Structures are given as C-alpha cells and as structure tokens.
Structure 1
Amino acid sequence: MGFQAVVIVIFACLYFPCGGVLKSVRYRNIKRETNDVQVDNVVQQHWIMQKLDHFNAADSRVWKQKYLVSDQFYRIGGPVFLMIGGEAPIISQWMSTDAGSTWLTYAKKLGALCFLLEHRFYGESHPTVDLSTENLQFLSSQQALADLAHFRTTIAQHRGLANSKWVAFGGSYSGALAAWSRLKYPHLIHAAIASSAPLNATVNFSEYLELVWQSLAAENPVCPLLVKKAFDTLHERIKDPKNYDNITKDFNFCSKLQIQSDKDRAYILDSLADSVASTVQYSNDNRAFEFVLGTNITIKTLCEMMSKESLGEPYYRFAAFVHLRTTTHLLPCFRDPTYNANLQDIRNTSYHGPYGWGGRQWIYQTCTEFGFFQNTDSPNQPFSGFGLQYYVEQCQDYFNIRAETLYAGVDQTNEYYGGYNIHATRIVFPNGSLDPWHALGITSSITEDLPAVFIKGTAHCANMYPARAEDLPQLTLAREHIFQILQDWLKEK
C-alpha cells in the first residue's frame, strides 16, 4: 500500500474571555491537572520542550509546554487537528466528546487526530519562574507562533507525519494567531480558519463601545438610550462623596466606595460598564459547556430589565442588572472599587497570584503589541468616564511601559502582520454581527482564497461552540459552510 498523506489541522481557541482587555479576571474553579495524567478515557496530557527565545540562537534556555492529545476519532490517512490555547489555561472540555464543540464534529467527520496546545505563560505552561516584567519580554505573539512551528515540526517527526498538511483554526486572539501562522509559516500551515480574529492592532479601540450600542439597539432601539441615561446618572452621582454610601449599597460593592483619584473613578465606571459590554460580547454563545456561569444572561435579558419601569429610574434598573450578574456568578459582592487594590493584584508576579493564570500576561500583551483599549472617547456609545488616557497610563503603572513604547509596539505589530491588509491565501474569517470585535476583523471577502463568513445575530466565537437546537439557522449554515471550505482546501496541494 502506498503512503497516504495525513492532514494536520490547527485549531487556535481562546477559553476566556475569548478576546479583549481583561478588566475583571478572577480565575475560579479551575481544575489543575497533574503531569501526563489521563484526563478521561481518550485524552492524555503531555509536555513538549520549547526554547525560551526562538529568535536568539545563543540563548539555550528551555521550558516545557503543556498539551493534550486524543486519538478517539483518528483514522489512518485522516487529518490531525491542533487547537491552540489563548490567554488562559487550556481545559479538557474542548477535547470532550460529550461537549461536542465544533472542531470535534469536524474531527469526527474527517477521522482526525486531535491536539490541544497551551500558550506560553498561560495556565501551567511556565517558561520562567515568575511573571516579572523582565521575564514577560519573552511573551509575544511572535514567540507563540514559533512555539507552534516547533510543535508542528517535532510532532510530525515523532509521529511519522512529515508530509502532512496543517490547517490552523482559531478564535479571537488565537484566531489571529491561526491566520498569522498561515501568513508567516506557509511551508508548515496549509490553511487557516480564523474565527472572530482581531487582525488590526490599535491603541484606540473606540469602535468597541460604539458596536455595543449598535448591538443593544438591534435588540431594542430604546435599550442603549436607557443604558446611557442610567450611566449618565451614575457618573453625575459619583462626583459627590455624599452619594458614596448609597452607590455602594445600590451596586453591592465589596467595600465602601472611596474616590481618591481620577483613576479610582475611571476604574469603577469601567468595571460597571463592563457588565454591559461583556454581556453583549458573549450573548447567547453557548459557553456553558466550559462550565462558565451566567451564560443565560444575554442582550435580551439586559434590555428587558432596562425596560422595567417597576424597578425605578434607569439608574436603579442598571444597578439591578449588575446585581443579577454578580449573584449569577456566585459572587457575594461586586469587587473592591479602588484602582490601587486592582493595581496591587495585577503587579503580583506569581503564577498563583490573583491575575497569574492569564490576566497580568494578557494586559502585558495589550501594552506591548495590541492596544485594544475600549474607551469612552467616542460620543457614539452609552458610557463615560474612562477615556483612552486612562488605559495608556495603566501600562505605565503596571509595567513601566511609556506611551511612546506602547504606540510603537502596536505599529510594529501591524507592520509585521499587515493588519487588515493581510496578504496570504486559504484563510477564512468567520465573525458575528453582535460581536464588537468584528470591527478589527475581516467581515467582507478579500479574495476567493480569503473569504469572510459574517454571521448575523451571533456573538464572539459563536461558530466554535457546540451546536444546540436553539441556534440561529444562519449559525448552523455558517458552520456547514466553513466545513465545506475546509474540505475543499484539503484537496488542494
């Protein structure tokens, strides 16, 4: 029997927040698995040796990167799927047959061998002893892509897959990694499916909150107006210390509101606005299979609550919505409302610190590579009080990264990858119309080999999650269309 070529497919997926500046990271109920254990009947955990710095031949330091593998669907001659972790720990639910995430439905149809690779510095993949700013210099998308290339080469050699094709899949940040892997390693990566991928880096991501407004208006044209009225009231009341006790009670803060600086005010306004923005970004996206709480709280939930006159003026309706989210996430109160408390948490350089599983790392990447700062400087959005300068100064406070360094890093990212003007072939770009991140992605086909799949009425990474009966017809059709594109591309040399 002649040799049959095997196709290797890379899935890059984010576990949470599936993209975006992490404003309120609290890693709760994360199962920490031990080395090389049996995660379930078909999934094994392993480690691969990686260089600390792929771009310095004189640096011989190495570290171990975590990955999972399953051959439950594998058939000789079938593809091999590699899902790449994003800015959080990898979790075995993405390898679970019972969960039925989209990449596994593709794997079953194609007889695929499945791998799940954790991103450097996230989860248990620790290239350095801690998360000091000095060590975080080795955290970048370029280093992560080099990890991917080495993983692909090593696995191919060890498993006899040297002549295999590789296809990259990804969601959000790791969707961008999937696209960029095809762009930068075309001799290794055959094609890519980059879901909800923000390809254009920008410091001033004001479009994010503008699209939050538009997504709310798509549910109910009055809804964003009510949210704006509530937030305007909050912003006015928070200026007077006499209101601090009532605001603390209204929003159930974990400690009494004390505004001692402009950053304190911006921090709490940003945090409360995020209750709305996160609801929009993840609305009805079926993340429940990851054991994420609050997936039943959607744009519809928010707009219905904001329309309830029985709750009082819009300010109190908004407070009631924040309380609903807090209790649904099984939290006793809404976080400590001070910038300095949050600052100390983020400055903690331990992997076991409050932000050690991914928050400190991702904020570092936004301050050095991407920006993505979702601010209120645009008039066409419902919030106020946390402008671009607030975010720029955070980079200085957290990592001593000055504004000129931040802007230069973002410019370099777009120069290196091309931003919207990506020049490659065989990459498909799925995006959801409700997802504010689609502003930084590709929503119209560039060429026949760079098609976009724009899915009306869906949110961030929706096409990657398990299918369910209540899915919109256009989401079901999008998954089928993407699979057909994949099949066609696998036939090409």
Structure 2
Amino acid sequence: MVAMVDYPYPASFLQPLPAWPVKAVCAHLTDPTLPDKDLVRHVASAVLVYYNYTGTVPCLNISQTATQSLGVTGWWYQSCTELPMPMCSNGKSDMFEDHPWDQEAFAADCQRQWGVRARFDWPLVFYGGRNITAHSNIVFSNGLLDPWSAGGVLHSPTASLVALVIPDGAHHADLRASNPSDPVSFRNVRRAELKAIREWCGHHGTSSLRNRPVSKSWLHTSI
C-alpha cells in the first residue's frame, strides 16, 4: 500500500502520508542485525508512518488499509462482479506469509457479502483478455513505482492504444492534481495524454485510427 502511494509530496489518498513515504518507512528498517525487541520497535515505527503519521490516531486499526472517506466498499463489490484478481503468496519466493489463492472461498465470500456470483471470466469475455487490439482510443498510463503496474499495458498495441510509462510515478500519479513537487515526467505524460486525446477528437467522424500502423513515437513511451 505504501509503494502504491509513493508520491513526491504529502498526500492522503489511502492514509495521511509524508512525501516519498517508502523512504520514510524504510528509514526505520535499516539494520536487520538488531536484537529482536529492537527490531520489533523499529517495525512498529515503520507501521506508524502508514497508520499514524499525523500522531492523532489513539489506536491503530491495521485491518483498515484506507481511510473511510475513500469509499472502498464499491471496489470490493466490483472485484466480485467485474474484476476478480487472483492473488497469492508462498512465503518463499516473496516477502509475504504463505497465502494460497482459494477461488471457492472467494466466490463464497462474494455471495455472502453481496449476494452475487463471482464472474472470473468477465474480463476475458467482455474485453477480450490480453487481446485488446479491437479496442481504440485508450491511454494506458503506468507509474512503475506502483506495484499494480506489473499488470498494466506497458507497450502500445496499436496507434490509438497508447501506453505511457512513468518510471518515478506511483498509483495514477498523472491523474492527480498538479503539484509544485511533480517531477518533469508527470507534466510530460499529461501533455502526451492531451496530445493523444486531441488527435482522436481531430479524427472524429473521419477514418478510424484503429487499424493504422503503430506510430514509433508512441511505442512504449517512457516519460
């Protein structure tokens, strides 16, 4: 979650956090050779950066990963009906505890919470899965600091399916309001997005861009 919102300025999208919160968290985790009790204290200090950076929270609710004002309830419903995302860990090739994916349990939880059937094949049936070349006029912007970028469209399949990569960007950094601390890459990618949209508007009512050759200037553009 911290990596997801690793913005270059203070923000409160998930929780109130300082600028570059990953660095703030890691500042407490620099010495793995400390005695166990000291390690626990340092881990606690790192956790406090995410859950109580303002110092105003009397008791940590570590089961709540985002502020209530974000309204994440809608996302959990959508993950059942439109975007189920199987996730798992084994504790060996990753840094997390062993947590296998249980599709039946996920489906049962969707039924229990929302009274809906989990549609695991919906993205494939509705959008075509990874074969998206039939679509057009979409910008896929990917901040590589955001762990979600691992599932992003990082290369432009066609001229009107534009992939933009922001090496120092976190989750939808380009869609946030401009900030004096924005790196040049943020400003550049916003210009590239506007350029693409203006081109689509200019071609409205004329020949479609869908089947045109991919412009080299758009191929895996790293801003």
Fold-level similarity (TM above 0.5): yes
Separation in 2, partners of 1:308, 1:291: 28
Separation in 1, partners of 2:70, 2:185: 35
Could you say if the C-alpha distance between residues 302 and 336 of structure 1 is closer, same or farther in structure 2, counting changes exceeding 3 Å? Answer: closer
Quick check: 2:16–2:50 contact (8 Å CA) kept in 1? no
Which SS does the other structure have where 1:475 is aligned? helix
Structure 1 residue 392: deviation in Å?
A: 5.3
Separation in 2, partners of 1:291, 1:279: 9
User: Between Structure 1 and Structure 2, which shows a larger proportion of helix residues?
Assistant: 1
Of 128, 133, 137, the residue aligned with 1:426 is 137
The aligned counterpart of 1:386 is: 99
The CA deviation string for residues 60-87 of structure 1, in whole angstroms up to 9 with x for no partner, is: xxxxxxxxxxxxxxxxxxxxxxxxxxxx
Separation in 2, partners of 1:291, 1:444: 29
Structure 1 residue 429: deviation in Å?
A: 0.9
Quick check: 1:427–1:451 contact (8 Å CA) kept in 2? yes
**Structure 1, gaps ≥5 residues long:** 1-277, 343-353
Structure 1 residue 454: deviation in Å?
A: 0.7
Separation in 2, partners of 1:316, 1:480: 45
TM-score, with structure 2 as normaliser: 0.72
Aligned residues: CA RMSD? 3.3
TM-score, with structure 1 as normaliser: 0.35
Percent identity, aligned pairs only? 23
Quick check: 2:137–2:200 contact (8 Å CA) kept in 1? yes
Of 457, 475, 485, the residue aligned with 2:168 is 457
Structure 1 residue 482: deviation in Å?
A: 1.4
Of 28, 38, 42, the residue aligned with 1:317 is 42
Could you say if the C-alpha distance between residues 287 and 449 of structure 1 is closer, same or farther in structure 2, counting changes exceeding 3 Å? Answer: farther
Separation in 2, partners of 1:360, 1:472: 32
Quick check: 2:8–2:181 contact (8 Å CA) kept in 1? no
Structure 1 residue 311: deviation in Å?
A: 7.2
Largest Rg, 1 or 2: 1
Structure 1 residue 357: deviation in Å?
A: 7.8
Structure 1 residue 486: deviation in Å?
A: 1.9
Could you say if the C-alpha distance between residues 426 and 298 of structure 1 is closer, same or farther in structure 2, counting changes exceeding 3 Å? Answer: same
Separation in 2, partners of 1:415, 1:452: 23
| Number of aligned residue pairs | 195
Quick check: 1:279–1:297 contact (8 Å CA) kept in 2? no
The CA deviation string for residues 307-356 of structure 1, in whole angstroms up to 9 with x for no partner, is: 1579755443222211232222532222277xxxx9xxxxxxxxxxx989
Separation in 2, partners of 1:311, 1:320: 14
Q: Which amino acid aligns with 1:438?
A: S
Q: Does 1:366 align with 2:79?
A: yes
Quick check: 1:326–1:333 contact (8 Å CA) kept in 2? no
Q: Does 1:294 align with 2:9?
A: no
Matches within 5 A, 1:145-224: none
Structure 1 residue 451: deviation in Å?
A: 1.5
User: Between Structure 1 and Structure 2, which shows a larger proportion of strand residues?
Assistant: 1
The aligned counterpart of 2:213 is: none
Which SS does the other structure have where 1:281 is aligned? coil
Of 435, 445, 468, the residue aligned with 2:156 is 445
Q: Which amino acid aligns with 1:288?
A: A
Separation in 2, partners of 1:368, 1:430: 24
